[in-house]
Structure 1
Amino acid sequence: MPYSFGARLIEERDRLGLTQGDICESTGINRKTQFAYERDHRYPDAGYLMTLLKQGFDVSYMLSGERPPRYGTVHEDLLCNVLVAVDTGLSRAGRSLDAARKAKLVALLYQTSSETGQVDPIVVQKAIDLLS
């Protein structure tokens, strides 16, 4: 992972297939300024960063050096609770699901539960009943 802002700026520019000239044209800065940003001799203002953001640059990564998880954060305890609730609900209903359908059910219930952080057994049962 590039550790400096300038290195991350270059990385993002390359990822998007842009040249220094492309950035200069869209942001209105000159090449000398762009070069200074990429070499960490100067740091850009918010207007420059907003223009890059609109072009698809991951400005948060450029500033922090950290990319967010691609699909968001998975809370393991909540996921475990969803799995237990699904298995319990299926067992009580005398049902079983193939892996693909069970995965879809778990994903749906996880998304629903992630808003509150709690698994609602009534919602689990209704979701299982819909599969019948």
Structure 2
Amino acid sequence: MLTQSVAMSRLILVRLNPGEDVREGLARACQEQGVRNGVILSGAGSLSRYHVHVVQSTNLPPGNTFMEGEGPYDVVAVTGLVNEGRVHAHITLADAAGALGGHVEDGCCVLTFLIVAIGETPEAQMADWDRKYVL
């Protein structure tokens, strides 16, 4: 296990508009705001299209299963990290049939709006965490 304690310096609110790509929009917002490290705290809105991946098995490395679909989906949650400028976001969606979620891929398209709150943590040092524990 690795841990560290860091302060959150500011809260960045991002509003994505109809037709915008979620991953691209969050990456652009972080770049424009100069966010290198942070925590994606919350998100709400809707999508007209989703493209996500989930882990495929319990083997290491687990591989990925990709899922995509179209239709109206409420965004129940957006969580994740910004690590050295790279957005790693997960999303939970719901419609009348149920809920699904996964790692955000290119192709998640905003329907009405998507508002995401990102807490900047400039002192966080997570860049080498994955290198220390390669699967």
Fold similarity call, TM over 0.5: no
**In which range does the TM-score fall when normalised by the shorter chain?**
under 0.3
Q: Greater RCO between the two (CA within 8 Å, min separation 6)?
A: 2
Q: Whose Rg is larger?
A: 1
- Give the structure with the higher percent strand: 2
TM-score (norm 1): 0.24
